[in-house]
Structure 1
């Protein structure tokens, strides 16, 4: 390989596979490159990379070119196309975009083209972003892997024998390999942060209500979806995630959960480190946590050890409530068509292991107990605002690791106690790479802040990002000779 001639560099850094969304938008706005050139470069990358990854289910070549032309025409006329001018984005299969069906990764919705864009999609498009493809996901986002009967499996760009995580796996791989600069996903139980960890990108789960999520007019929404699930961005840098958040955030008249709460500021620069819980944390995961903690310490943060209060209790209640609602919401009799094979197996195994609530009293008592857990966390975070710990207690396992019976379902859930606790409590949480582990996969950590303290976790994330070794491009996303 060393004797080969390297491919010619892109005409401008903004056209390269590692360009940040901020760099792309800045170059387009300064008219150093055109949005059309940016889109063509990304379409070429998709044509080369996506057949082997199956990350993008639909590619919007013609529509993306039209949108890029609109950005360029606005600039030529002296107008402002927005802070994301020309930035290619991917949109998860369960977020409405009128350019294609919102399938939720399920065959029963293969023709379900929405009548309007989701609010976050419209806000991104109004800011100049260009949807370039749809990100793959499991049926209704239920699994911690990305596979379905409609589109098939998404592969991990670092190692195909490892899961890419779920459920926003397609968008994570698209971002990691340079097919899009920002991915729009959602997080009910780690669905942004786990794929971000697996693919080596940054993923933000905002506070409950910070970013609008889908609410179908006239249809009831399960309480766990209202309380645990949020839309959020993925990108290759913390700054890009923050840029996308600024565009997407705020009240939406169609989403009764959305709000305009001010950001919590002026918090102590103190971080509590979680090194172990449950059955223990893999030493290679701990090594990433130590690198992140050292980066924060060098930057002047006070680093202390903490044990998150009622962590197992939070994870157990999250799981039992979630499985109770899933059984009601995803009944094949009501859906009119069965779920896919892997989703059916996951629902069967997880609900059997979780013991869904059987009575209204049990269900109500579980929601009441959340206030007890939340009070203990609030007391902790009044002293130690940011919690640093693993996204998963394990390194990413093989594809379908979350299937195979109740034991497999239990193991997958136990790895994510800290992750699902953030969903249970509605807290902002940022997944950030922490170098490369000795298994050839990215290491990663998450930073959990108090409610509405996104700025705190983003600030801490920038410090971690700057203080750990940068990741190379994943093997599946490298250009020839790179």
Structure 2
């Protein structure tokens, strides 16, 4: 039966409507399930759909309201959860055949927090094997298509969740970002994606298993949504110290108000920026100026070096952690090609001395960024120096692997330094695809990033609805 109530446009509106009794959580979830059944067969964003379990969870939200209890700030909000985040309703596959049966014993801390806040998981978001590509495809579930143009990549690695949010199949997506894996799919799909500060949102339970140093330092969990306000709402639920993640911490008290100044990084260290991408940055800068921000030109310190170090360190660790002998089963075809091409181009470290010196250099680069961000707290620039390319654009040899990485120098620098970064849409380009920018803040400066993000969002042309 079709729900008589169309789903509200944002997570905040859904929760408010459910809490006010204007619509039931069951009706909201049913509307999203019906949307999934109509839309997802052509997009393949969701790998598993929790039809019965999501209805049961929604009924629990409605029962809490009927009993006079507060179901939480995300009451009835449908969410998708990426395939590498534990949710006991299905296997945590990481997009890899070797984990097709790996059903976790308990939910990840962020999933538990979202469910305790009233959110309802409706499905799992697709991803590439172990999240190591900038496109979303794998041998286990197949490819996720870009809803704006099937001839363009949906981005990766949180491509499934970004597409689900953009097309109204979920109101929030839960993913992670090791090298742009939230921000690039957000750019591709025309949604908002937040890479929080390192440690702000728990990443994963360690449970005695070794965790590569790059995963500890570069990767964070974060939300995808259709508005900046919804991302902020989700962050407030997901964040905070967690006993299972030794990298996690509680946000420090807010510092004195920082200068309302944004540094515009138009060109990524000499890399040519596509005119449409540059125009998106210009539109964002104009919106910030209208909102009272001082926008100045800056050069991001050691940008190319930061990107090179991120890549070499990442590839060094991937060669160890994703070795087929250690895994016991080979990676999928596209993941194998990506690992081969990227490591060939990146020159992984061969000695402990080189590896240690790279990490030592990180502290010096971080110090220069911190000094800059005292005076210019935010950096504004493109998520990618290019428009979204064709599917598999990051495969095909060393040259495509190099090009895909060079487009993302500014993006991976935020991962290298553990900084918060927000991807925000800035309207539709002449090519019919969303444009967008990212705002990179100082460590634990999400409040500044979100404030500026709201200004960019308010001044940007609205994207046409996909639902």
Q: TM-score, normalised by structure 2?
A: 0.98
The answer for unaligned runs of 5 or more in structure 2 is: none
From 339, 342, 353, the counterpart of 1:350: 342
Q: TM-score, normalised by structure 1?
A: 0.95
Structure 1 equivalent of residue 265 of structure 2:
274
Structure 1 equivalent of residue 461 of structure 2:
469
User: What is the SS of the residue equivalent to 1:432?
Assistant: strand
For 1:12 and 1:459, how far apart are their aligned partners in 2? 32
Between 345-354 and 259-268, report the one with greater CA deviation: 259-268
Segments ≥4 residues shifted beyond 3 Å? 9-13
Contact 2:164 2:173 in 1 (8 A): yes
From 77, 80, 85, the counterpart of 1:87: 77
Q: Are residues 1:59 and 2:62 paired? A: no
For 1:377 and 1:51, how far apart are their aligned partners in 2? 45
Q: Per-residue CA shift, 1:258-300, capped at 9, x if unaligned?
A: 0013254411110000111232111110100000000000111
The answer for unaligned runs of 5 or more in structure 1 is: 1-8
User: What is the SS of the residue equivalent to 2:68?
Assistant: coil
Contact 1:350 1:406 in 2 (8 A): yes
Q: Are residues 1:204 and 2:194 paired? A: yes
For 1:371 and 1:255, how far apart are their aligned partners in 2? 22
Structure 2 equivalent of residue 237 of structure 1:
227
Contact 2:126 2:158 in 1 (8 A): yes
Q: Are residues 1:390 and 2:386 paired? A: no
Structure 2 equivalent of residue 104 of structure 1:
94
User: What's the CA shift for 1:303?
Assistant: 0.6
Q: Per-residue CA shift, 1:201-231, capped at 9, x if unaligned?
A: 0000000000001133010000000000000
For 2:124 and 2:5, how far apart are their aligned partners in 1? 26
Contact 1:263 1:455 in 2 (8 A): no
Between 167-176 and 208-217, report the one with greater CA deviation: 208-217
From 131, 135, 159, the counterpart of 1:169: 159
Q: Are residues 1:257 and 2:237 paired? A: no
Q: Per-residue CA shift, 1:373-431, capped at 9, x if unaligned?
A: 00110111011000000000000000000000000000000000000000000000000
User: What's the CA shift for 1:11?
Assistant: 4.4
For 2:301 and 2:272, how far apart are their aligned partners in 1? 16
Taking only aligned residues, the RMSD between alpha carbons, in angstroms, comes to: 1.0
From 100, 121, 129, the counterpart of 2:111: 121
Contact 1:434 1:443 in 2 (8 A): yes
User: What's the CA shift for 1:12?
Assistant: 4.2
For 2:317 and 2:111, how far apart are their aligned partners in 1? 27
From 171, 191, 195, the counterpart of 1:181: 171
How many residues get paired? 464
User: What is the SS of the residue equivalent to 1:232?
Assistant: strand
For 2:202 and 2:220, how far apart are their aligned partners in 1? 8
For 1:443 and 1:183, how far apart are their aligned partners in 2? 20
Q: Are residues 1:303 and 2:295 paired? A: yes
Structure 2 equivalent of residue 337 of structure 1:
329
For 1:428 and 1:39, how far apart are their aligned partners in 2? 31
Structure 2 equivalent of residue 4 of structure 1:
none
User: What is the SS of the residue equivalent to 1:347?
Assistant: helix
For 2:221 and 2:90, how far apart are their aligned partners in 1? 19
Structure 1 equivalent of residue 148 of structure 2:
158
Contact 2:262 2:293 in 1 (8 A): yes
For 1:39 and 1:300, how far apart are their aligned partners in 2? 40
From 328, 338, 347, the counterpart of 2:320: 328
Contact 2:5 2:27 in 1 (8 A): no
Structure 1 equivalent of residue 406 of structure 2:
414
For 1:241 and 1:144, how far apart are their aligned partners in 2? 22
From 120, 135, 145, the counterpart of 2:125: 135
For 2:159 and 2:412, how far apart are their aligned partners in 1? 17
Structure 2 equivalent of residue 5 of structure 1:
none
Between 109-118 and 271-280, report the one with greater CA deviation: 271-280
Q: Per-residue CA shift, 1:109-164, capped at 9, x if unaligned?
A: 00000000000000000000000000000000000000000000000000000000
For 1:344 and 1:254, how far apart are their aligned partners in 2? 31
Contact 2:186 2:423 in 1 (8 A): yes
